[in-house]
Amino acid sequence: MARHLITSAIPYINGIKHLGNLVGSQLPADLYARYCRARGHEVLFLCATDEHGTPAELAAAKAGQPVAEYCAEMHAVQAKLAEGFRLSFDHFGRSSSPQNHRLTQAFAKSLDEAGLIREVSETQMYSPQDGRFLPDRYIEGTCPNCGFESARGDQCDNCTKQLDPVDLIEPRSTISGATNLEMRETKHLFLRQSAMKDDLEAWIDTKTDWPVLTTSIAKKWLNDGDGLQDRGITRDLDWGVPVQRDDAPWPGMEGKVFYVWFDAPIEYIACAQEWEEAGKGTDWARWWRTDKGADDVRYTQFMGKDNVPFHTLSFPATILGSGEPWKLVDYIKSFNYLNYEGGQFSTSRGRGVFMDQALEILPPDYWRWWLLSHAPESNDAEFTWENFQTSVNKDLADVLGNFASRVTKFCRSKFGEEVPAGGTFGDRERQLVADLSAKIAEYEAQMEAIEVRKAAAALRAAWVLGNEYLQEAAPWSTFKEDPETAAMQIRLGLNLIRLYAVISAPFIPDASAQLLGAMKAEGADWPSDLDSDLQALVPGHIFAVPDVTFRKIGDAEREDWQARFSGRR
């Protein structure tokens, strides 16, 4: 049994996330966590809401609420949606927690004592119209590197180049649209990332198994232009972790807070502390400190490609620079973007499907299956309603759902609602066992490698093998001449339903639970020997015919959804 620490990028607090956000971090992380648990491993799966920074302040102001109240309310909303999608977090924390406040301040102190923090007097963008300094992400303009017209003050989402607001051509405030921005002097703390460049490069070079997407982005940031730059870790804001040392104001930093990119990744660790203090587990340190037993933990992070630079460079610089025995990430699974019907998801225009809307129209397994089987791993992916309809109807309804329905209904009509006796495996059945063993081994290998789309394809292929067997064996025809053999064939079919429910649970947990419940096989273990696993439901075992596991999506409702979420209304 191995120990797996799993984190997904923590979603920002300001609003409900769309399906692209979901498949870029939380959903594949849940898939892997469920798989690891099913294989008997010890898992700690953590996530949280990212609650600090100007976006939270602005969203709260728009909602007419104090920012703390707004964040508490939105945390509850996001937690409920996570539950709706069956995301199996061991704890869903908050970056505004007291634990994260204390830990962020402790990391800053350690970094300062190691000589890795410097105080900088600098000029920053100030908007007289807004009456405030503008955080980098609230300044937009044209990227000087690629010409993208909506580059942010910290990074261009088009070419991923790291930027400063002064680099932008024709910068503007995203709060008010003001262009009469001016530079004013202020003091801030900077993390000396440049001093960590060699250590970070050496560490990254050891990660030969990382996805190309992850490594290429990390090395681009390391070596692009002048190389890794020092980065401000404080901001002139009211809402956030106060800049303090030993519970006292940091001299010269009064009234400032730590920048959200600095405190947000630290929440991964604080979340484990919250988990323990909430009474959900014990000894958080054995997951996070190598002097407390975390040296045998396999730590995997899941995130969209826009988060890769902070998790391959800035957060590791914080960990390494502290000089303390914290656990570093072992594997970073990064994802490209999911686009929507030839464009991008847009909250403002109502374009695309958001998590709450998705659950209003279909149960979570429909979405989980499509998103994971089309995960944007090697390239950006595209959601279209036609593709979604086809995948649901063919994969879920026709292949898996139809198999369970045909087997159970035929058995009920000919043998009653119990597993029938009679007959032994022949050549066809032995070949099916061999083919399934190979396909499940492939599925397991892809899951171990966190190749999400390939794992989904292998799982579907395993479902197809059962359907092909059923068509070839044709127990409804065999029954007329040889009821004993038909009984064996349908008994094998019932055991296949049990098997499919077990191995499909990481992808479609609700359907898995439904089928296991119908087979009266709750708690069934992951298959280890198909010869015995496919005879686990013995003659006389009672079962029930399940309700429709997956219904088909009709053309009319697909067209209605296509219009409803087009952003044109």
For 84-134, how does the pLDDT look when each residue is reduced to its tens digit (9 = 90+)?
999 999 999 999 999 999 999 999 999 999 999 999 998 888 999 988 888
DSSP state of 224: S
Do 59 and 204 lie in a common domain? yes
Binding residues: 143, 146, 156, 159, 347
**Which of 277, 302, 335 represents a domain boundary (last residue)?**
335
Residue 366 lies in a domain: no
Do 389 and 331 lie in a common domain? no
CA atoms within 13 A on the CB side of 462: 27
Do 330 and 205 lie in a common domain? yes
Can you tell me the distance from the alpha carbon of 104 to that of 241, in angstroms, rounded to the nearest whole number?
Answer: 8
Q: What is the 3-class SS of 393-407, one letter each residue?
A: HHHHHHHHHHHHHHH
Can you tell me the distance from the alpha carbon of 233 to that of 315, in angstroms, rounded to the nearest whole number?
Answer: 12
Do 424 and 315 lie in a common domain? no
Mean pLDDT of 236-260: 92
For 286-310, how does the pLDDT look when each residue is reduced to its tens digit (9 = 90+)?
999 999 999 999 999 999 999 999 9
pTM, two decimals, is: 0.92
Whether the pLDDT of residue 568 is over 70: the answer is no
pLDDT band of residue 563 (cuts 50, 70, 90) is very high
Can you tell me the distance from the alpha carbon of 179 to that of 182, in angstroms, rounded to the nearest whole number?
Answer: 9
Binding residues for Zn(2+): 143, 146, 156, 159
Q: Are residues 43 and 36 in contact, defined by beta-carbon separation less than 8 angstroms?
A: yes
SS3 at position 64: coil
pLDDT for 569 = 47
pLDDT for 316 = 96
Can you tell me the distance from the alpha carbon of 564 to that of 150, in angstroms, rounded to the nearest whole number?
Answer: 27
Do 67 and 213 lie in a common domain? yes
Do 331 and 395 lie in a common domain? no
Do 294 and 424 lie in a common domain? no
Do 210 and 328 lie in a common domain? yes
Binding residues for ATP: 347
Can you tell me the distance from the alpha carbon of 200 to that of 531, in angstroms, rounded to the nearest whole number?
Answer: 49
Residue 302 lies in a domain: yes
Do 92 and 218 lie in a common domain? yes
Mean pLDDT of 222-246: 87
Q: Which amino acid is at 499?
A: L
Q: Residue 330 belongs to a domain with what CATH number?
A: 3.40.50.620
Which one has a higher pLDDT value, 435 or 155?
Answer: 435
Can you tell me the distance from the alpha carbon of 163 to that of 224, in angstroms, rounded to the nearest whole number?
Answer: 11
- Determine what percent of the chain is predicted with pLDDT higher than 70: 99
Can you tell me the distance from the alpha carbon of 257 to that of 267, in angstroms, rounded to the nearest whole number?
Answer: 15
Do 326 and 404 lie in a common domain? no
Do 389 and 330 lie in a common domain? no
Residue 436 lies in a domain: yes
Number of Cβ atoms within 10 Å of the Cβ of 490:
27
Can you tell me the distance from the alpha carbon of 69 to that of 56, in angstroms, rounded to the nearest whole number?
Answer: 11
Residue 405 is encoded by which pair of tokens?
């329905």
Residue 246 lies in a domain: no
Contacts of 472 (CB under 8 A, 6+ apart): 428
Residue 373 lies in a domain: no
Domain that holds residue 493: 385-533
Do 310 and 417 lie in a common domain? no
- Determine what percent of the chain is predicted with pLDDT higher than 90: 85
Residue 483 lies in a domain: yes
Q: Residue 509 belongs to a domain with what CATH number?
A: 1.10.730.10
Q: Write the Ramachandran bin of 319: left for phi over 0, alpha for psi from -120 to 50, otherwise beta.
A: alpha
Residue 35 lies in a domain: yes
Residue 70 lies in a domain: yes
SS3 at position 282: coil
Q: Write the Ramachandran bin of 76: left for phi over 0, alpha for psi from -120 to 50, otherwise beta.
A: alpha
Kindly report which listed range (7-16, 164-173, 216-225) carries the lowest average pLDDT score.
216-225
pLDDT for 226 = 64
Looking at the structure of the chain, the number of domains it has is 2
